[in-house]
Amino acid sequence: MKPPAFDVVIAGGGLAAQRCCETLRRGGFDGSIAMLCGERCAPYDRPPLSKAVLTDGREPHPPRFKPPDWYEREAVELMLGHAAHGLDPRSRTIAVTVGKAPQARGRLRFGQLVIATGSRPRRLPCLLPGGPLYELRTHADALALRRALRQTEGPLVVLGAGLIGMEVAASARLLGRPVSMIEAAATPLARALPPMLGRWIAGMHREQGVDVRLATSVRRVRLRREHARLELSDGRTLSAAMVLLAAGTEPAVQWLAGSGLGPGAVATDAGGRTRLPGVLAAGDAASYPNAYLGRPAATQHWEAAARQGATVARSILGLATSPAPTPMFWSDQYRRRIQLVGHAADGCLTEIEGNACGGEPFAAWMASGGRPCAALLMDRPDLVPQARRWIAQSHAESPAALPHNAETNTDAGGVTCHTCP
Ligand SMILES: Cc1cc2nc3c(=O)[nH]c(=O)nc-3n(C[C@H](O)[C@H](O)[C@H](O)COP(=O)(O)OP(=O)(O)OC[C@H]3O[C@@H](n4cnc5c(N)ncnc54)[C@H](O)[C@@H]3O)c2cc1C
């Protein structure tokens, strides 16, 4: 018997998958669509998991994108608890497992396949979740952490000062819990921010009572009943009632092994097409060309995943791809809105607009190689469009023009940096 066939199969049931379905149907696509959701619930939004889901009074439901009847009305076959398990590009079939039962396997045929399986927490071989060790990717993870934050006595130790680690640290402090945050790099978000701004963010957490330990790693973890003892590289020992494993994420694409795609995030063109005909990719699992970095990159942020979900749908509909805007991500910590527009890793600070001390809103403008490259906005969402224009222009023209009263060094054809020697 031939496996069931769909015109479009979407592997993954998160943000990118949802945006792909919506854009297909809005664009008049009347073919059959199946969405494989590895989790047993319809697509929901992840950013609240490290924020409101942990701090709000009532136990929340998954923050769903659409009411349950939307999928029926839009004729989207929602296959809950069905995980993509393998891809055979020659027969254009995908292997599917159902729940945890290994014998419950099947295959689906596809006209076009969209890979949208997102990412998953990076695991250290010696530290797997369980007991007092937690990770955070799904609503179920968030509920477990939420319960522990309310019911367990003793401190939380966060391993990793990335976005999720810092957001959980902030939520736990808002709940009044003692928190330590351990980071192996010299500053938080070291791959995304210049050291000076990373130090500023570490300072914000310290002001809120977090014991932040930078350039420190964990040598050993001893589990005793429901407690953990962590031996650190600086020779000290910490005792924890809960440990959040937040050492970054990796694309959830292991199921593609042997298909000709991967390993790592799936490389695509600007329209989300992979090197295999009829196979596209979007969201955290994908690596798109990035004009701002001058190389392909997996962004693993909300805005890019939403846009790429719509992009692959446009490619399926035969429509042109619109150019990607300047990248942006946001984070909410201690009820402050942090936004990073552009790519700042190689950037130097050129100008601070506003007062970075005392919890005031401010904007930090950055340049790299004499060109504007990024802006860190603290409680200044109004500046996002301006920051985007500023960075986009700098890629289109030379020399770049700074938006404010930052100094420009016309001899050097660019921006004078206030922090570099
Ligand atoms: C706790 C948390 C907080 C965040 N906060 C922010 C924020 O403040 N700002 C920001 O810009 N970004 C934030 N992000 C990142 C943002 O949510 C992601 O970039 C976005 O969700 C990526 O969308 P996606 O569709 O690619 O992947 P996902 O949303 O992860 O969806 C992928 C889905 O595919 C499923 N899946 C995985 N493997 C399989 C398989 N083999 N078969 C079938 N299904 C599978 C997964 O269970 C999941 O439901 C946050 C992420 C997390 C986890």
pLDDT tens-digit map of 40-82: 999 999 999 999 999 998 778 899 999 989 999 999 999 999 9
CB-ligand 1 contact for 177 (6 Å cutoff): no
Distance from the alpha carbon of residue 46 to the mean position of ligand 1, in angstroms: 6
Q: For 87-131, how does the pLDDT look when each residue is reduced to its tens digit (9 = 90+)?
A: 999 999 999 998 776 667 899 999 999 999 999 999 887 788 888
Question: Ligand 1 center to residue 303 CA distance, Å?
Answer: 11
Residue 191 tokens read as 């791959």
Looking at residue 400, what is its pLDDT? 44
CA–CA distance, 112 with 250 (Å, rounded to integer):
25
40-49, 96-105, 186-195, 220-229: least confidently modelled range: 96-105
What's the confidence (pLDDT) of residue 39? 96
Structure-token pair, residue 261 = 């795609």
In the reported structure, the alpha carbon of residue 252 is separated from the centroid of ligand 1 by a whole-number distance in angstroms of 10
The answer, yes or no, to whether any atom of ligand 1 lies below 6 A from the CB of 330, is: yes
> pLDDT confidence of 397, banded at 50, 70, 90?
low
pLDDT at 414: 33
Percent of the chain beyond pLDDT 90? 77
Mapping DSSP to helix (H, G, I), strand (E, B) and coil, where does residue 205 land? Answer: helix
Q: What is the pLDDT of residue 180?
A: 98
Tell whether the torsion through CA atoms of 158, 137, 306 and 314 is positive or negative.
positive
User: What is residue 413's predicted lDDT score, i.e. its pLDDT?
Assistant: 28
Top mutation candidate among 41, 117, 119 for ligand 1, by most atoms within 8 Å of CB? 117
Tokens standing for residue 50 = 């490290």
Model pLDDT, residue 103: 67
* Distance from residue 284's CA to the centre of ligand 1 (Å): 7
CB distance 15 to ligand 1 below 6 Å: yes
Say if residue 89 is preceded by a cis peptide, omega within 30 of 0.
no
Please give the number of the atom of ligand 1 that sits closest to the Cα of 283. Answer: 26
Return the structure tokens found at 65: 């994108």
What are the tens digits of pLDDT across the range 2-40? Answer: 788 999 999 999 999 999 999 999 999 999 999 999 999
User: Residue 286 CA: which ligand 1 atom is closest?
Assistant: 26
CB proximity list for 52: less than 8 A, separation 6 or greater? 60
Contact 241, 226 (CB under 8 A): yes
Q: Could you give phi then psi for residue 144, rounded to 5 degrees?
A: -65, -45
Does 256 contact ligand 1 (Cβ within 6 A)?
no
pLDDT top residue among 350 and 397: 350
State the amino acid at position 419 in one-letter form: T
User: Which are the contacts of 70, defined by CB distance < 8 A and separation ≥ 6?
Assistant: none
Q: Which of 97, 98, 302 to mutate to test the pocket of ligand 1 (most atoms within 8 A of CB)?
A: 302
Q: Cβ contacts of residue 124 below 8 Å, gap of 6+?
A: 245, 247
Q: pLDDT value at position 384?
A: 97
- Closest atom of ligand 1 to 50 CA is 1
Q: How far, in Å, CA of 297 to CA of 299, rounded?
A: 6
Q: Are 382 and 365 in contact (CB under 8 A)?
A: no
Ligand 1 site, residue 50, Cβ cutoff 6 A? yes
197: left (phi over 0), alpha (psi -120 to 50) or beta: alpha
In ligand 1, the atom with minimum distance to the C-alpha of 17 is 25
140: its two tokens: 């179920």
User: Cis before residue 399, ω within 30 degrees of 0?
Assistant: yes
